[in-house]
Chain A
């Protein structure tokens, strides 16, 4: 037991949830410092309960700690009450396991899962006493700051704050980086020279070694290395054999209830669908599966080592996992006897899934989920979301027969070329599903219940490395207008009383849009907004839209430049220096096809030539068939 605590009892007892700061959780790793050459602080820049729910950190935490010479510890953003106490008392931010200051570590790694956590990166650097920018960190007196995760596919708005971005799946090249680090520390190499050497390791993007030139209109002229011998583009690297990749059999189990309070079993990476709005669907290509035998073994180990009472299958589209029936057979047996619940997010509604769901859920309480994403067939074709009205009605019909009566719909507003008819389609499809219920379930079988439909809309934010990276994004007032139209559309339906409607806040989406396709000029805005008190932007109660807008104005930055423009086909994007495996020409082709509201085939039926075949694995290597693989979840 590490009895040491960085915070006094007094502080811990006066702040909310002291368990966030005490470490010592089951399966957390403690090492003897004299055996350790590299101390790695791994940070999820949000509150503990969110960060502890993230699978990626658990994987790398386990992998790093499997190396004898590395000790990886965890760091999260102190919640706002603790943040204040630490500033008032000048207490440096510490890592949970050793309770030692982060400042004294060799590496500080951030996982970057969403854009609205960017000010929390600065909070963590600030509380740690680490200079904000890579340019200020000239010697070895503070850790190498490295970032990974989906937001690194356009890291330019935070480029100044990082020494290295790791592009690709973390399992592959950290060992090489650590070896280089140890060697450079041993032979007295400077920090700068270490970074130059690191630039030659696959997937390592060192932003300070590349110079950006802009055109007069503010778009990019060129991005070039400033040092000879380093790559002009950084290519994503992926795990080619998931069955043999490192998988953490002893994840850390928090004392407090994390958002994801269960075992997460990753069944596959990547997705075959190619929905045009979806960034994950492009970034993690090609689809690679784990064998069900390996997953079964991992599930048993995880249950034994964590004691969780729930296991969740994780992937972008679980129904597309080809060995799902075998895996579920096994899990139903194994979990049933142990009183463990199974949760199955992202399942397509069909006879198979309804049968499984009836075994693992309380039908009366659970709901069907349709991520239709758009209200009309035309718009679903624009976004290449291969789900039809017929799919939805057939699935609902079967489910109503099976006893379900709750349906959740997810839509996005603001897709390219969206018209008022498309928006009206949202109310119409909800109404048809309600009508389907009344047609399917006769009055005497309703037991005093009725159908409950919930429609939720979020606002579409175009992301890099998607066919919609050229698309304009709506302004907040346009979004709100669309939400009002959606609401009116729903209210005009016959079954409107059975339909609930929720929509998201628009201002936060706008900021997310700015950062998603932003460039390096935004670094100073993020720093300035942080200095003015912006933090926890992803949390509605702390998001300060006015301060952000004021900051942009003060610095002469036009935020609409990043969100509202339709980008010309030949524009150079800030993220063009990265190669995510999918080619720009493929994305452009898809962008043009979407305009004609034409769909593209999924990877199981036909290869669309996206470029990911270069990795030589997964679905790209499988023969293409006419097999009906159902609709996209």
Chain B
């Protein structure tokens, strides 16, 4: 389907395709500090991909961030925390910090284990490996 047509359908209040997750198009990261600091080691994930509680857990624990030290000066961390929380998604389990462990993610990504192990993919969180426009918040690839 043409991109403009999809946009038109959404604008008219219709549902586009198999929009089960409701996350096929999410607003791009619009906070420069978040784009910079959270986009260094991996793509800066869009706030709509996790609920507020998950973002608070993540931004309160940056010194031990999935085994990495991602700590930031307090004022910078606070401004990123506020941006992510204010723009968080409405669905998902706030106790789960990984996007890739949310139940919607599992439903949308039922692939054989061998797919995840491909060297160019490396990890489930490497959205860009499969969604070329992921940095714009576009996960609608068909």
Partners in one complex: no
- Which of B's residues lie within 8 Å of A, judged by CB? none
